[in-house]
Structures are given as C-alpha cells and as structure tokens.
Amino acid sequence: MRYNFCVFIEEKNKRVDMYLSALFKDFSRSYIQKIIDKWQVFVNNRQINKNVKIKNKDEISFEIIVEKLDEVLAEKMPLDIIFEDENILVLNKDAWINVHPVPWEWWNSGTLVNWVLYHCKNNLPSIWGVERPWIIHRLDKDTTWAIMIAKNDKMMNYLSETIKNREVWKYYLAIVTGILTKDNFKIESYIGRDPYDRMKMTTKNPVNPKLAITYWKVLKHIDSKYSLIMLKLETWRTHQIRVHLASIWYPIIWDKTYWNSKINKQAATLYQLKRQALHAYFIEIDLYWKKHKFVAPLKEDMKRIIKDEIKTEF
C-alpha cells in the first residue's frame, strides 16, 4: 500500500523514522526503519536513510509491505490462559517467545500471534483485510509476563485509552543484585534513547526523553546477596524497569544489556537462570464497570530462586 502526503509538525528536525512510526502505530519503529533501509521511503522525491530529519511541508511518499502479513499462519500450541471472554484474552507468556512475527526475518512462525490466530479462529479484527490480534503492550522477549490481547476493535480502543490515561497498573517481580535496605521507594526520571547506543535506553542525556515513574517494595532478601522486589509502573516506557534499577546500581540478575555480564553470569550460573529475572506478575484494570486483577503465576525458574511463598500485596 502506497502513501503520499505532506508533513505537518510544529517541531523542527524530527527524524523521519520516529515521525512515521508515531503516525502508523500498527507498525513498530524497527519495521519502519527496515522499509527505509530498503529504499522504499522518499522525501521530496528523494530516497533517504533513517537518519534524515524532516520539517513542516516536506512531502513523503512510501510503501508499506502489507502483503507479508498474509504469511502469518495460525499454529496450534498450548496457551497459558489467565482470562478470556468474547472481547479480551489475557495470557501468561513464557520466556523466549516472540510476540509478533517479523516479516523480513525467518521467525514468522512459533510466535504468540501465530498461536492466538489458531486459538481465536476467525474471531479477531483485521488490518487491511488480514486477521490479526491486537496486542496491547510489549515487553522483552526473555521476560515472562501477563499480556492483554483485544479480540475486537471496540476493546482495543478502550484498552488503548485506558493505558493512555494511566488507568492501568502493572506490577512486576524482579530479583536484583544487592541488598535493598529501604523497603519502599520511588524512582522518577526522564528516559530516552541512549545517544551513543541506539539499542539502549538511558537516564543520562537521553534522546527524546519522556517522564518515567517506578515504585518498588522489597519482599525478601536471597542468600544475603540479592533482593526480591515488587515494582509498580505509573508510566510504560521502553526498558523502564531495567534502566531505572541499573541507574541506582541495583540491576536485575542476568540483564545482559544494562549491567556487567560477568557479575550477571555468576548469579545466572548459581541459580541455573537463562534469562533476566523479571516477571510481569499482574495487571489491575477497570473492565465491565468493575476492577479486575489478572495474575500470571511465576514461572519455574524464578520460583526455584525465591523458594518460599511470598506476600505480593503492594
């Protein structure tokens, strides 16, 4: 599908990939960048790269490769279902499972979308005529979590507005390096892209910074070296928990991106852990005129480290 339009923005020097990914929310920024890398985006009739900055009244012409969506096939796999009705599906996702297929790579099967397509069987909304589940929120592939999936446009719009208005609370469990002595804490800072590494987010001189607010409560200490904490998010920023905890020197165990890999590997080896120790534990949301709490039980690898039953009220 080809698009031609003029830019209307108040700010100057906006990067073209950021502008297009904000405008076309059905596609991630990385997908938009891939289209640009394939020389399919033109600004003022000139082929451009993803670093090009645009201004008001620039003319953009580009093509989104939607035919690739047809290759996403329904696949039968067991789903860990927390809640389901005719409007919404809530799952407890395992680690190392991609949520979305990536059309230009080989992993266009074995994803959550493939499995949900099979489970819901023609009872989902469509994007340009292709049936797709509306995945409400994203997390890292190696994080286990409770995830909400809208089964129709009406629920998608409701959940999107609820999230936008900060009327959804997400609670996480994390095991961090170090002994936290303060039982309750709040981290409030601006997070944005790291100017020196586009794969990372940072609190230090971030690019396009946005306010991020995280609360935590210490639940227990483990082997006099680590702390189990519950976290509550008021905002949902990319890598928010990982960046906030690393910024105060209490990184999540086995966080390969934001901490020392040698220290992380020691903890991972000790506990036979193969991923970062982070789990999206439950979601609180008003649904059908009453409050719902969707709980995703811990996976076995983190349960093995924690050992004892814990009280998880914030």
Catalytic residues: 140
- CA 265, distance to chain mean position in Å, is 24
By C-alpha distance, which of 137, 129, 66, 64 is closest to 100? 137
Cβ density class 243-277: b for 16+ within 10 Å, e for less: bbbbbeebbbbbbebbbeeeebeebbeebebebbb
d(CA 248, CA 243): 9
Q: Which two tokens stand for residue 293?
A: 């709490």
Question: DSSP assignment, residue 203?
Answer: S
Map tokens 């680590």 to a residue: 226
